[in-house]
């Protein structure tokens, strides 16, 4: 049984090491992984001629977390095979598992330098959702991909157990870096890039769409009332 008290008592110097369910460990894991990425960034900066794309790929399967994860990792097996055969360029990807009204939703975010068609083609073959946009700020995109997704302790633990130690990060050889082993080590990184080009989450996009919809409905209601008042005023004066 999950020791919730152990997770909630997590603090610096005494970590519970549950980065999928504990905010403190999740944020420390994010900083540690980002430090490893930052060590590679100077090499990647030399590739200024290549456009960089932020891609999201997700399963369309309906069912349990296990069913959806198994389907998602079929995509990763295809990516691994293409990587082994030298069919992919520079890329960095990480699995994220969110939770909405349809239950758990595992999906992969990728940063792809240059040609992204291999990812699009595999998505089409496996009938996966596919979305791309240009990455305006590479560091900000990586930071977003490594974020702690707060599912709560119970759901976070369910994801950890369902993953069963499967790797959630896949990347090309350019990212073969070593990250710090001690999760609380001081990390000296310039985070001034944060917040410049934020990538909106699915939840934020949904709220913005709903907000626009309500504003539009409000304007339509207001215009209808004004029109009714004007017509009433005109008829009463003639």
78-137 residue pLDDT tens: 888 898 888 888 888 888 888 877 788 888 899 888 888 989 999 998 889 899 888 877
Residues 185-201: pLDDT tens digits? 434 444 444 443 444 55
Average pLDDT over residues 206-219: 80
CA distances in angstroms from 59 to 28, 120, 124, 214, listed in the order given: 29, 13, 11, 30
Average pLDDT of the chain?
Answer: 76
- How many whole angstroms separate alpha carbon 61 and alpha carbon 72? 9
Q: Can you give the residue ranges of every domain in the chain? A: 4-199, 200-238
- How many whole angstroms separate alpha carbon 168 and alpha carbon 120? 20
pLDDT of residue 88: 87
| Residue 96 near residue 149 (C-beta atoms within 8 A) | yes
pLDDT band at 12; cut points 50, 70, 90? low
Asked if pLDDT for residue 57 goes beyond 80, the answer is: yes
Residues 155-181: pLDDT tens digits? 888 888 888 878 888 888 877 655 444
CA distances in angstroms from 38 to 34, 154, 174, 176, listed in the order given: 6, 32, 12, 12
Phi-psi region of 152 (alpha: psi -120 to 50; beta: other; left: phi over 0): left
- Report the range of poorest mean pLDDT among 13-22, 37-46, 206-215: 37-46
What distance, in Å, lies between the first and last C-alpha atoms of the chain?
79
Asked if pLDDT for residue 154 goes beyond 60, the answer is: yes
- How many whole angstroms separate alpha carbon 223 and alpha carbon 227? 6
Task: Return phi, psi of residue 73, to 5°.
Answer: -75, -15
pLDDT of residue 175: 74
CA angle centred on 142, ends 32 and 9, rounded to 5°: 40
Is the sign of the CA dihedral 102, 18, 3, 5 positive or negative? negative
């Amino acid at each position: 049984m999950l020791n919730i008290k152990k997770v909630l008592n997590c603090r610096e110097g005494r970590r519970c090491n549950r980065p999928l369910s504990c905010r403190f460990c999740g944020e420390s894991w994010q900083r540690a992984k980002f430090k490893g990425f930052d060590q590679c960034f100077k090499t990647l900066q030399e590739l200024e001629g290549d456009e960089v794309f932020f891609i999201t790929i997700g399963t369309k399967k309906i069912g349990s977390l296990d069913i959806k994860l198994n389907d998602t990792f079929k995509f990763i097996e295809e990516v691994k095979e293409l990587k082994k055969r030298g069919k992919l360029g520079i890329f960095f990807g990480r699995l994220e598992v969110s939770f909405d009204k349809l239950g758990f939703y595992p999906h992969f975010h990728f940063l792809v330098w240059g040609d992204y068609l291999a990812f699009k083609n595999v998505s089409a073959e496996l009938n996966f959702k596919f979305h791309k946009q240009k990455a305006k700020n590479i560091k900000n995109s990586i930071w977003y991909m490594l974020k702690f997704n707060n599912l709560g302790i119970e759901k976070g633990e369910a994801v950890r157990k369902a993953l069963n130690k499967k790797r959630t990060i896949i990347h090309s050889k350019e990212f073969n870096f070593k990250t710090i082993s001690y999760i609380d080590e001081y990390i000296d990184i310039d985070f001034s890039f944060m917040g410049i080009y934020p990538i909106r989450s699915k939840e934020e996009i949904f709220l913005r769409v709903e907000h626009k919809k309500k504003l539009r409905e409000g304007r339509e209601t207001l215009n209808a009332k004004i029109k009714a008042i004007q017509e009433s005023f005109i008829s009463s004066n003639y």
